[in-house]
Copies of this chain bind each other. A is one copy, B any other.
Amino acid sequence: MFTLNPRDAKPIYLQIKEQYIRFIVSGVLGAGEKLPSVRQLATQLSINPNTIQRAYAELEAEGYCYSQAGRGSFVAQRTDWDTSRRDALIAQLQSTAQALRSLGMSEAELTALLSKREEV
C-alpha cells in the first residue's frame, strides 16, 4: 500500500503523512476505518516507530484522523478536514495563477492549462 522513496529529499514522516492524506481524501480510506498501529506499520516498513508516530500526530492535528487511547487511530469524518484543506489549496491556486499573470500569461492560456492534466 505504501511507497516510500528513500531518494526523495522529503522526510519519510512527510511521505507517509502525505500518502495517508491522499488515501483519505480520495476515499480509499473511509471515515471510521482503522489505521494500522504505529508499531505494526513501523515493522512493515522497516522504519523507526518515532517516524510513524510523527506522521500520525500531524495527521491528527490536521483533522484527518483521531486516536483513542488503547484502541488505535481512525480516519476522521470528512467535515473535520475538508474546509481548511480546500481553502488552503484555493489560495495557492489563485496565487500561482496571479504569478503567471504577472509573467504575461492571458486568462485563456491559464484556463487551457487547467484542462491539461499533469502527467506523473
Contacts and interface: CB of A to CB of B under 8 A. Distances in A.
Interface of A: 6-7, 9, 11, 22, 25-26, 61, 66-71, 74, 76, 82, 85-86, 89-100, 102-103, 105, 107, 110-111, 113-118, 120
A65 to B, nearest CB: 10
A90 B117 contact: no
A6 to B, nearest CB: 7
Contacts of A90: 100, 113
A69 B120 contact: no
A85 to B, nearest CB: 7
Q: Which 7 A-B pairs have the closest CB atoms?
A: A94-B118, A93-B96, A92-B96, A89-B100, A7-B66, A89-B99, A26-B102
